[in-house]
Structure 1
Amino acid sequence: MNTDGLPHSGDPPDRVRVGVAEFGVATGETRLTTSGLGSCVGVALADPDADVAGLAHAMLPSGDDDRARPAKSVPQGVERLLAAVESAGADPDRIEAKIAGGSRMLDFSGVGEGVGDRNVAAARETLAECGVPVVAEDVGGSHGRSLSVCPRTWTLTVTSAHDGEVEL
């Protein structure tokens, strides 16, 4: 599926790339990938029994509705991703989340919480409000990450120069 949650024509792709401020939904063996997560947060949602998963690459902890960039803010991205995953066949009672990212890429000592910290907090809060449990996470630090989600296995693979490859 593409970032509008609509199926691609023809055979399913091997991979759906999710850009900054976008989300995507896939089924079966089709992988969802995103890269360049610094202070941004990646939110993966899945119904493991239905082989359906989604991935959002959210930039900001809050913000106005932005139709052109459906996952610009964490709350907007999570809500739209949740609706798309349910539309693709996920049972709302079985959906769970995994999150990654939210790094402190620049040191603004003495300024308080960075955008990455606030993105992670917004993801946890929005998911809790939606009744979606967070079952795994790889957040914080000062390094970037790339993500890959496999709906069939409900594996979130996090790759970074800091930790190599970690499966959640």
Structure 2
Amino acid sequence: MILFGESIDAQKDMSNLKVVGIGGWAVSNNREDILRTYALGSCVALILHHPMSRTMGLVHIVLPDPLCHVGKKHGKGYYASSAVPMLQREVCAAAGLSSSDSSGIIAKLVGGAAVIKIKNPFHFGERILREILQTLHRLHIPVVKQDTGGSISRTVSLYIESGDVLVKSPGTQKRPL
């Protein structure tokens, strides 16, 4: 199987592909790993990266907070209000850091599109992004790059060895973030 036009040579590395599902997360400092999440519409991928230890984390966030989803039970990665501090703790632990303050952890954001073509007063993508940015600011983690908004879905791949983050949208080639 070839994913998103990858070559047969690239498929040899798929044994180290870790797919992050909706509301899920993964953290790795294994140089051979690739972390990927698919089809980010209004959802947002938060990427935390500690370049010195080559540790990267990815969470696929669906909603800003549990108040948007009263009566439903989901894990910490599902909501921005819990996903951001959870991923920060996981990346710090994997990188051997006591906190993210002055640690060199950086953030990247992808997604938050308005993929529904009708007038939508909820703007979940914008609300998720706002919650993430407020929490990152409180945790003193700078956002260095983002590919957010618009109206198209995105797939994100993190390559632990190089620290590269690639974004793919329907009908386009992968591009670096």
- Say yes or no: TM over 0.5: yes
Q: Partners of 2:83 and 2:34 in 1: how far apart?
A: 19
Aligned to 1:96: 106
Q: What does the per-residue CA deviation read over 1:42-93, in whole Å, with 9 as the maximum and x for residues that have no partner?
A: 00001001010000000001116x8852211012111111111111015421
Q: What is the Cα deviation at residue 124 of structure 1?
A: 1.3
Q: Secondary structure at the match of 1:164?
A: coil
Q: Partners of 1:132 and 1:162 in 2: how far apart?
A: 33
- How do residues 5-154 of structure 1 correspond to structure 2 at under 5 angstroms? 14-27=16-29, 28-63=31-66, 68-89=74-95, 91=97, 92=100, 93-109=103-119, 111-112=120-121, 114-154=123-163
Q: Partners of 1:162 and 1:120 in 2: how far apart?
A: 25
Structure 2: segments with no counterpart, 5+ residues:
1-14
TM-score (norm 1): 0.84
Q: Partners of 2:122 and 2:149 in 1: how far apart?
A: 11
CA 90–55 in structure 1, closer or farther in 2 if over 3 Å, else same: farther
Matched positions, count: 154
Identity across matched positions, percent: 28
TM-score (norm 2): 0.80
Bigger shift: residues 84-93 or 134-143: 84-93
* 4+ aligned runs moved over 4 Å, structure 1: none
Q: Partners of 1:24 and 1:94 in 2: how far apart?
A: 19
**Alignment RMSD, CA only?**
1.9
Letter in 2 for 1:96: I
Q: Secondary structure at the match of 2:174?
A: strand
Q: Partners of 1:147 and 1:77 in 2: how far apart?
A: 17
Q: What is the Cα deviation at residue 162 of structure 1?
A: 5.4
Larger radius of gyration: 2
Q: Secondary structure at the match of 1:88?
A: helix
Q: What does the per-residue CA deviation read over 1:13-57, in whole Å, with 9 as the maximum and x for residues that have no partner?
A: 512111100110011231111102100000000100101000000
Q: Secondary structure at the match of 1:71?
A: helix
